[in-house]
Structure 1
Amino acid sequence: MSTEKPDEKLARFLRHNPIEDRVYLKEYVRDHPDQRMAWYLLGREYAARGDRGKAAYCYAQSGEIYEAFEKRKITVDWSALDSSVPWPQELKTAAKRSRRRKAALTAALLALIMLLPSPAGPDAGDGRPGGSGAASAELPAADGELRVYLAAEGSSAAEKSASGSLGQMLLRDRRAGGEAVLLSAQGADGPGGGWIAWHRPLKPLLSVASGGPAEAAAIAYFDAAACNCRPDDPGRFAEPAGAWRQRQEQLLVLRSAMEAYRAASGKLPERPEELLRPYPDNVMSGLTPYMREAFPLVREAAAAGGGAAGGTAGAAGTEAGPGTKPPASSAAAEAALSEPLAILVDTKLHRLALVSGRTVVRSYEVGLGGARTPLGEFAVSEKVRNPKGRTKGEFGTRGMTLSDTDYAIHGTRHPSSIGKDESLGCIRMKQEDVEELFDMAPKGTKVTIGSGLLPAGLVGDGPGGAGAAKGSGTPGAGFGPKGAFKLPSEVQETNPGKVYRWLD
């Protein structure tokens, strides 16, 4: 067990992972002038940018926080605000060290693409900084319950948005009490910019247990490279983080179904039952109890957003009991699961990905037809269970017609053709894969077929992928998906009177 003091660990963590969000920190210290940690973080950012006068002022306001983390005292000579007067050596050293940190050891944490705050957190509602009326919301958490944050790493765009995560957990969440955990998703550059692999295990980075306003936060580190220490065991977060992940997906599917319904009818559904009509109007197969409970709040958020892209992955957090009034929703506009679900079929990779913007929610290997598979944009115009073909089992247990054509996404009785160009143009899937996709993709989901649509290194089931271990909770392990996504079957979705002639 390490004998290092908690403040020494945090100081080293901060040296590797500077907080860069000056706008947020400036707003925070204006509203909370007695929070010396915020003054210290703001001073570090100004020093890194060479703004020595403002750094000096912030360090002076931080008092003993500066002395604790920098292991030195600072006496600010306010005459140094005059550029003609030499600066104290402490500030020169701090500025040089801060600039060197930009290329420091911990790329995994420095390369954060975004922060996804759970609306279960204390700032949920109209008062949450950085809010967006277009974002979706979730049922509120009970006081003191676990809050989950998500960061993504690995793209070239990461450094410019590396701010927020630790500052959020140390500062903005302090007054809520309880505990927060920061998870990291794999990321990579690809078509259009940075991509996030939601479908792969999420790696725990650190947790913050907040005491009272006057108490120090207890920080546990799960990434040895970030803290240069023996990491703590994150196993206790496996269950709540897994449940959080499932709720994110349920809300994403619900929001996507609402937007598909709005696109088809020109209005949002008033009641859950409007999404659960029998074939051929079956937007969804069913709704989980959590989705039903969240329906009014998600609909309110979609109406406030007025567009198809409202919502965030962080919009789902800890469940609340019936009768609890949910907060108004808001979250960062760049949240990883902010856009309605869409399907991308990459003919070069033989991959079908269910995506939200540039976040890969699911990835499946598929069989195609080479030049016979049409390229372009389509939509799921029909969803049918057990489609009847010209021969028994020709299309498996699920089928989704593409824009009223003879092409479809469906199962197959030839699983060995997956990954090959052996169909007559349709998209073949393994039975378990097409059944999961059928439940997640509402009727009306947009489908794009083309070459080079997906980042090759992020959609496969390689190391850490969907085919990897689900995550043991041991240091360094990730929290993987807990089985296939499945909705209850609540509507009639068969069409026994029709023989389908899709180009299998």
Structure 2
Amino acid sequence: MDKVSFLQEKSAFHMKYPEQSDLSFYRWFTQQHPDEAIGWYHLGQAREAQGDTRQALAAYRQSLFAKQGPYYDEARDAYQKLLREQSRQGWRNRARLLLASLAFLYAQFVFSPGPLQDGAPAASAQPQAVPASAPAPVQPHVEVIAVPATLSPKELQSQVRRYVEARRPALAQPYTVLVVPEVPGSPLFTPLLFYQPKQVLGVLQYNPVSRTVISQRWFGSPASFDAGATLAAARGDLAVEQQTLQHVLTLRNSLYRYYQQKGTLPASLADLAGSYPGNYLPQVPLPPKRLLLKSYPYHPHAFQSGSAWASLRDVLPLPGYPEPLSPLAPLQVRLSQKSHTLQLVSGTHLVRSYPAAIGKNDSTPEGYYTILQKINQPRGHDNIYGTRGLVFQGNGYAIHGTNHPESIGTSVSLGCVRLFNAAVEELYTFVSLGTEFIISNAPVPAQPWSNPALFILPAGPEEETPNVIYTWLH
């Protein structure tokens, strides 16, 4: 529902019930339309204006289960902002107690020389300067689009031609389009940023400046993408572009979550790769050699708190490639219990899809969570937790690997979510502390998604907890 329709509903409600308040309308609207984020957002705003933080958080949290639409992003940002304010208030209360104690001690010992007197000037903390670097050279851009299986060869070529003529008006150099068979559950004629083609129906090179097709080749039947010299250049170009997109998305998400939790950006990207429990990332990824960059450009001065996620395009730009037409969004992990499928998504983009094992007898709790801890090589008897663990609830719930790979795809655990070890290592790479995790019992079908090559950043001993034996609900 768009904003205009929402306001029309509100006007009709007040005409019918003139004695009712706006709050009453928001409550009524969320009962009638529980999957519309716009209602939950306004209900949260009204509760927050009343000073009812608990009810405001509950409303904002409900919006996260709603479908993508107007005020979905605003509700998520309001939720995180309120959580940060609660955290800051707790710290302020503790700081006041600490200052009161220090003031008392100072009054007692003000005339005593010693540790209270220090002649050394305090060093001011200055953010590290970001060295200027030359921009990355423009790279060959590749788009993967899926097309309906019902099109005749002539219709297929005609519709792909209309697609390229209508897309990418800002591009100033030729680009390649890989046409693949329909991917059930995914949009048609829309770039699939993180899809690894297995078969292709055609490949086309287009010049958006002259609006001409440079070259094209169509296959009578789906051809293997992994074989043949014809597609070798496209394979290499797509691999580098997907790698770069993954790096930038991972870094932006980590910066965004860091800001949500701390209220500021780190002085340098290296601060994201700290030791446990501050390990947002295991490492900071390095750009592909083709980009001719020693590191990804980082401009924290370009950050705008009022548009935190959107401004990260300037804080950490995507080098060498155009920003996706459908914008990237903060990463979310979503678990469909019905289909035993865990998905990593960025707005409308599916980034990864993994089969998962969940709890028996509905013991995996449905709801909204965030990643609280990331642990490399979590200790447990017989290596039952595999190689990585991501805690999402403090009383024993985690996403982790397994020493029983045959259990993946079933409901056998006591509540935890199991993945293959390679999958949890990749998820551990992508997902930073504070990333949202939504568990739903909705009957979402598993997509036959083809993940790109594994993206795993090695985790070090500083991310381990060797003295802790975990008792997660395995």
Matched residues in 2 for 1:302 and 1:454: separation? Answer: 37
Change (3 A) 1:161 1:365: same
* 1:147 counterpart = 2:141: yes
Whole-Å separation in 2 of the counterparts to 1:430 and 1:242: 23
TM-score, reference length from structure 2: 0.57
Following superposition, the deviation at residue 140 of structure 1 comes to: 5.0
CA distance in 2, matches of 1:421, 1:166: 48
Structure 2 CA distance for partners of 1:501 and 1:199, relative to 1, 3 Å:
farther
Distance 1:360 1:425, change over 3 A: same
Letter in 1 for 2:277: P
- Does structure 1 retain, via aligned residues, the 8 Å contact 2:175–2:206? yes
Residues 1:378 and 2:378 aligned together: no
Rounded to whole Å, the distance in 2 between the matches of 1:161 and 1:267 is 45
Distance 1:350-1:285 versus aligned 2 partners, 3 A rule:
same
Residues 1:172 and 1:423: Cα distance change in structure 2 (over 3 Å): closer
Q: Is 1:499–2:469 an aligned residue pair?
A: yes
Q: For residue 38 of structure 2, what is the aligned residue in structure 1?
A: none
The 1:233–1:295 alpha-carbon spacing in structure 2 relative to 1, beyond 3 Å, is same
Unaligned runs of 5+ in 1: 1-137, 320-328, 467-480
Change (3 A) 1:503 1:490: closer
Distance in 2 of aligned mates of 1:255 and 1:368: 29
Q: Structure 1 CA distance, aligned partners of 2:302 and 2:344?
A: 23
Task: Quote the Cα distance in structure 2 between the aligned partners of 1:190 and 1:452.
Answer: 18
Q: Which amino acid is 1:306 matched to? A: S
For 1:267, the equivalent position in structure 2 comes to: 264
DSSP-derived class of the 1:241 partner: helix
Work out whether residues 194 and 242 of structure 2, in 8 Å CA contact, stay in contact via their aligned partners in 1: no
Q: What is the distance in 2 between the residues matched to 1:188 and 1:386?
A: 36
What pairs with 1:221-236 in structure 2 (closer than 5 Å)?
221-222=217-218, 233-236=230-233
Contact 2:165 2:208 in 1 (8 A): no
What is the aligned partner in structure 2 of residue 341 from structure 1?
A: 331
2:162 and 2:343 map into 1 onto residues whose CA distance is 29
The answer to whether structure 1 residue 244 and structure 2 residue 237 are counterparts is no
User: In the TM superposition, what whole-angstrom CA distance separates every residue of 1:338-371 from its partner, at most 9, and x where no partner exists?
Assistant: 1111111111111111111232211111111131
CA shift at 1:249, angstroms? Answer: 0.9
Offset at residue 496 of structure 1 (A): 1.4
* Partner in structure 2 of residue 182 of structure 1: 177
Contact 2:143 / 2:192 at 8 angstroms: preserved in 1?
no
1:404 corresponding residue in structure 2: 394
Q: 1:279 to 1:422 in 2, by over 3 A?
A: same
Shift of 1:220: 2.0
Unaligned runs of 5+ in 2: 1-132, 150-158, 223-227, 289-293
Distance change (3 Å), C-alpha of 1:400 and 1:379: same
Rounded to whole Å, the distance in 2 between the matches of 1:360 and 1:309 is 19
- Distance (Å, rounded) in 2 between the aligned partners of 1:393 and 1:295: 39
Percent of residue pairs identical? 26
Q: Is the 8 A contact 2:144 2:193 kept in 1?
A: no
Are 1:187 and 1:195, in contact at CA under 8 Å, matched by a contact in 2? no
- How far apart are residue 147 of structure 1 and its match? 2.5
Match of 1:253 among 246, 250, 255: 250
Residue 296 of structure 1: SS of its match in structure 2? coil
Asked if structure 2 preserves the Cα contact closer than 8 Å seen for 1:365 and 1:418, the reply is yes
Higher relative contact order (CA 8 A, sep 6+): 1
Per-residue CA deviation, residues 206-256 of structure 1 (Å, 9 max, x unaligned), is 43365996x965232346599xxxx99333221122111111111111111
- The residue matched to 1:388 in structure 2 has which SS? coil
Q: Please report the RMSD computed on the Cα atoms of aligned residues, expressed in angstroms.
A: 4.0
Task: Sort the Cα spacing of 1:317 and 1:148 in 2 relative to 1 into closer, same or farther, 3 A.
Answer: farther
The secondary structure found in structure 2 opposite 1:492 is helix
